[in-house]
Amino acid sequence: MKKIILILTLITLIIFSPKVYAQEKICGVYFTGVGCPHCAKTDPVVLEDLLEENPNLFLIEYEIYQQSENAYLLYAYNEKYKSTLGIPLIIFSHEQKIGGDAPILNNIKKIIESLSGGNPCPLYDGTLKNIEEIDINSLPGKPKIWQKNKIIIKSGKIDNELAKEILKSKNLSETMKSKDYEVITPEPVPLSGKNVLFENAIKLSGMIYQWNGPPLEEKVSDINDTSENQHEQKNELTLTKIISLAAVDAVNPCAIAVLTLMLIAILTYNPEKKKNVLLAGFAFTSSVFVMYLFYGLVIIKFFHIVQALTATRLLLYKILGIIAIVLGMLNMKDFFMYKPGGIGTEMPMRMRSKVKKIIEGIVNPRGAFLVGIFVTIFLLPCTIGPYIIAGGILSVFEIIKTVPWLLLYNFIFILPMLAITFIIYGGIAEVEDVSGWKEKNIRYLHLIAGIIMMLLGIAMFIGWV
């Protein structure tokens, strides 16, 4: 009888051991943002130290600054779990959640210890499921799933069972023996303030898996991964928006008016030296380009600071869309009811006399460059609107990655200035002709700018771009 009882007990343990193992797994959701100074304190502790110390810990990470698709989830979790709209934030259940760097650093290890018996994953709809029961495809946004020395980065529709098999695999070579994959170079996984480096990486359909440990053999797969296409589409959308905004800024009458005033001053002082027109035009245009590049970096840095206020960051894109719509309406208003010095569309009248007085003192190309630097301040009221919107769009990138976009924006912005300089230097037209053309067509310039801004603003607000 004792032997029978012992055998039955062993059979029971064998049958139910997978469920016991499942319950021992701890799962949480972690919200962070690359560039958030508070997250820089918690990211290494949560995504490195805790995972190293707790092999059964799984963390679903949502980064909300670089991955704007994840931002709305902060609202969803706050509604279901009464957490917070600030980051860093880690949620284990309706009762167990911590927000803020100091609370996380002071309490996270104690909470993990209290969950040693197991903890299901808190999902965005308020339900709790064990990691084995989750369909990873149903996780919204762009999550990363972390476990000790390994990470799954979701980029599209994945093989859900294979993904979970990989996470729990102790012999990856055996697991992937008959699977399609492509060995790729591991990419640094950005945290706030640093990157996490992995030794190996493979690309599968809809995901990238990176890990430390023995590598897999090279194997070229015929996978249909959409991550690269999505990245290209995102860049194409950004390119369309930036070119549109720069085009609106380029046809702004402000900059054209200031350039023509400067060229008149140069020609009036020394009409025989037409070469000075070319040099002065280049000098003035160069100074505008350099200063606006600087202003762009300042605007983007400002938006990076605003992004630290997470609740504001989530509304930022719609706010920028509204601003674009308003600027579009103001420009279109100037087509139907034109009044010089319109708010947000032209240089205020009280500034024009000051700018003219400054420009009249230009006698050579060097002076044109120096005055150009100073005059950009007066240009800001009528040119800054599209630039602010562009800065907000580009603020999802790291500051260094915004430089090529700003170079493109400002190159488009100065194209009319370069064109006017060449036209006058080449004798194709006189400065007065250019100035007269601008005055004659100023309403149409505002109409074109207004239509582009209005359409872009509506598309941004609705979420089409």
Residues 402 and 264 in one domain: yes
| Percent of the chain clearing pLDDT 90 (strictly above) | 24
For residue 56, what is the domain's CATH number? 3.40.30.10
Which of 11-20, 110-119, 132-141, 428-437 is least confident? 11-20
> What's the mean pLDDT when you consider all of the chain?
81
Query: 205 and 238: one domain?
Result: no
Q: Are 146 and 62 in contact (CB under 8 A)?
A: no
Domain boundary among the residues 156, 191, 225 is at: 225
Quick one: CA dihedral 167, 170, 173, 179, positive or negative?
negative
**Same domain membership, residue 35 and residue 138:** yes
Residue 20 has pLDDT above 50, yes or no: no
Residues 40 and 99 grouped into a single domain: yes
Predicted confidence band at 108 (pLDDT cuts at 50, 70, 90)? very high
Whether residue 221 sits in one domain with residue 234: no
Give the lowest-confidence range in 35-44, 177-186, 243-252, 310-319.
Answer: 310-319
pLDDT band, very low/low/confident/very high, at 23 (cuts 50, 70, 90)? very low
14-23, 363-372, 450-459: least confident range: 14-23
201's enclosing H/E stretch is strand 200-204
Q: What is the mean pLDDT of residues 392-398?
A: 79
DSSP 382-420: HHHHHHHHHHHHHTTS-HHHHHHHHHHHHHHHHHHHHHH
Residue-wise pLDDT tens digits, 262-309: 777 777 656 566 787 788 888 888 988 999 999 999 988 888 776 555
Are residues 294 and 375 part of one domain? yes
Please count the structural domains in the chain. 2
In the chain, the percentage of residues whose pLDDT exceeds 70 is: 83
**What pLDDT is recorded for position 461?**
76
Q: Above 90 in pLDDT, residue 90? A: yes
Confidence of residue 21 (pLDDT cuts 50, 70, 90): very low
Claim to verify: residue 171 and residue 216 sit in the same structural domain: yes
pLDDT exceeds 70 at position 182: yes
Same domain, 150 and 294: no
Residues 261 and 221 placed together within one structural domain of the fold: no
Q: Give the contacts of 295 (CB within 8 A, at least 6 positions apart).
A: 376, 380, 384, 387
- Name the more confident of 361 and 78: 78
Same domain, 379 and 441: yes
pLDDT at 376: 81
* Rounded (10°) angle between helices 399-425 and 275-307: 160
Gap between the Cα atoms of 340 and 61, Å rounded: 52
Distances (CA, A) of 282 to 30, 247, 382, 419: 52, 20, 22, 11
pLDDT confidence tier of residue 69, bands split at 50, 70 and 90: confident
- The residue from 225, 245, 264 where one domain ends is 225
Give me the pLDDT at residue 7, please.
59
Q: Do residues 113 and 80 both lie within one domain?
A: yes
Q: Are residues 172 and 235 in the same domain?
A: no
pLDDT tens for residues 320-366? 888 888 888 988 888 888 887 666 666 677 776 777 777 766 667 77
Closest-CA residue to 165 (of 143, 186, 142, 181): 181
Among 225, 251, 266, residue at a domain's last position? 225
CA distance 14 to 18: 8
Q: What is the pLDDT of residue 46?
A: 92
Q: Is the dihedral of CA 338, 341, 344, 347 positive or negative?
A: positive
pTM of the predicted protein model: 0.55
pLDDT digits (tens, 9 = 90+) for 131-173: 888 888 888 888 999 998 899 998 788 888 888 888 888 888 8
Give pLDDT, residue 388.
Answer: 86
Region for 193 from its dihedrals, namely left if φ exceeds 0, alpha if ψ lies in -120 to 50, beta otherwise: left
Q: Identify the DSSP state of 196.
A: E
pLDDT of residue 403: 93
**Most confident segment among 7-16, 220-229, 283-292:** 283-292
Which whole-number Å values give the CA distances from 164 to 124, 137, 154, in the listed order? 19, 11, 12
Hey, how many other C-beta atoms are within 10 angstroms of the C-beta on 279?
18
Q: Which domain holds residue 370?
A: 228-462
